[in-house]
Amino acid sequence: MATSLSTPKLSTTLSSPTFHSLYKTKLSNFSLSKPLQYNCVINPRSRASSLCYGRRFAITRAETSFTNGAEPPRQYDFDLFTIGAGSGGVRASRFASNFGASVAVCELPFSTISSDSTGGVGGTCVLRGCVPKKLLVYASKYSHEFEESCGFGWNYEAEPKHDWNTLIANKNAELQRLMGIYKNILKNADVTLIEGRGKVVDPHTVDVDGKLYSAKNILISVGGRPFIPNIPGSEYAIDSDAALDLPTKPNKIAIVGGGYIALEFAGIFNGLTSEVHVFIRQKKVLRGFDEEIRDFVGEQMSLRGIEFHTEESPQAIVKSADGSLSLKTNRGTVEGFSHIMFATGRRPNTKNLGLDTVGVKMARNGAIEVDEYSRTSVPSIWAVGDVTDRINLTPVALMEGGALAKTIFAGEPTKPDYRNVPCAVFSQPPIGIVGLTEEQAINEYGDIDVYTANFRPLKATISGLPDRVFMKLIVCAKSSKVLGLHMCGEDAPEIVQGFAVAVKAGLTKADFDATVGIHPTAAEEFVTMRTPTRKVRSSPSEGKAEHDTKAATGV
């Protein structure tokens, strides 16, 4: 016997704004003609069975006759089978198990570089994304800090030297430690971990390297993979996976791309004293970010020695007899690179998962189309994280995974909330943002007040370096609500995380003004801006702006 929870008919549009223009939120283009049924199989061997009759579900007993095409009850190996043990998959699986479901997760064997046969528990963020990247950012910042220290009286008898092999070895040791933590999280939550490649056979069956597992619900959380354009000589290029695990530090590197991944690696290698050239198709970096932030970070990175080649598209890579690489673009050829890295975006990792054969609808780029509850066009199959190409950020995948577990197993149909999602770019200097850009605010609200500050931080007054900080508030002129908050400068991500709570809560400029600042800090500038830099008065465009998912990661 099965019991079910009915939810209201789901709409095919989000009721809240998304992460404006950095990434678009894509919903499915299919329509739902019936209310969704979130089913819980009553299986005496399933830990979820007792929960179905508990206070978590407001349910009624299902009818014993199966008419109108309803399938008869059956027993499954698991209530939820998750393919992919990244951030979203682990969160959904752990929460589902805590709600009483029997859960299994499959994941590929570990490798620092992902492939069709390798992955690892923890996923992109932990193993070849956020965490190892941030460790390399820390390593690269010391060269700038050595420069800063001279003005404060520090002297060095010899020039500090960096050992790349030590950094990579320690980074990889930390990845192993974190992967062990993730495995223990699953174990402690009574989630079964299966090593191997999962493939969907039918709406309730997963094949893992030849062994079949049945499940009432299947979750796809396999993330994305870096993409390198198919140009002559592309086999000589590296992507972000490889860049995090190179055997030697680049002497001279070309980075193709103008999104956040490109800027972060440009800062890393520049800080580690490599010669860095960045090639972008556009006139500015970070398409989709606030225009003043784009201008400011480009200027600051140039002052630190990074050379930008704007409005240049890669056409070919040529390898010389001495092993050096040349990059040919529409404007000419630059020679002498030890490495050429492409940071030209990521694509959903849905190849060879069997989704097309069972009827799961996907976009042209391979992204799985889902509704507002992360359900695919096949009722028993769900998807969260980068594989859905909504907002491709780890904390968002965590939110989606938690919401999905509540929807299916806790009797609480929950939509992920994409309003005012903060994000950071760990460039040097770093960026933190939450809310609308100035351009988006004008388009959606018309009349706005803009407050900006561009100043030399206290540390730079003695270090003598040309470091500056830029901060910006965007305020609705009619309601005084703070619509957007942007910062580029030291500690920007840490500062903006705190202010994101205020923006999410809908606080006004008066609330900011009434807050006492902490002195001396850069952060206090956000609560001491009194006079608008400019006032914009215009009529908002009809409807809300559509936002480009790929803006932050494209070339």
Catalytic positions: 519
Query: Any idea of the CA torsion for 251, 255, 261, 263, to the nearest 10 degrees?
Result: 80
Amino acid at 161: K
In whole angstroms, what is the distance from residue 527 CA to residue 511 CA?
9
In whole angstroms, what is the distance from residue 172 CA to residue 94 CA?
25
In whole angstroms, what is the distance from residue 410 CA to residue 345 CA?
36
Is residue 284 exposed (0-12), middle (13-18) or buried (19+ Cβ within 10 Å)? middle
- Give the number of residues written for the chain: 555
Query: Any idea of the CA torsion for 368, 370, 374, 378, to the nearest 10 degrees?
Result: -90
Residues with Cβ within 8 Å of 444's Cβ and at least 6 positions away in sequence, in order, are 436, 540, 541, 544, 545
Question: Do the strands 469-476 and 431-435 form a parallel or antiparallel pair, or are they unpaired?
Answer: unpaired
The per-residue DSSP string of 426-488 comes to: --SS-EEEEE--HHHHHHHHS-EEEEEEEE--HHHHHH-----EEEEEEEETTT-BEEEEEEE
In whole angstroms, what is the distance from residue 441 CA to residue 425 CA?
21
In whole angstroms, what is the distance from residue 22 CA to residue 288 CA?
5
Cβ-based neighbour number of residue 96 at 10 Å: 29
> Residue 278: beta bridge partners?
255, 308
Amino acid at 375: R
Whether a cis peptide bond, with omega within 30° of 0, leads into 429 is yes
DSSP 8: P
Q: Rounded to the nearest 5°, which phi and psi values hold at 291?
A: -60, -40
Q: Rounded to the nearest 5°, which phi and psi values hold at 535?
A: -120, 125
In whole angstroms, what is the distance from residue 465 CA to residue 461 CA?
8
In whole angstroms, what is the distance from residue 50 CA to residue 57 CA?
11
In the numeric block, which tokens belong to residue 112?
A: 């620092």
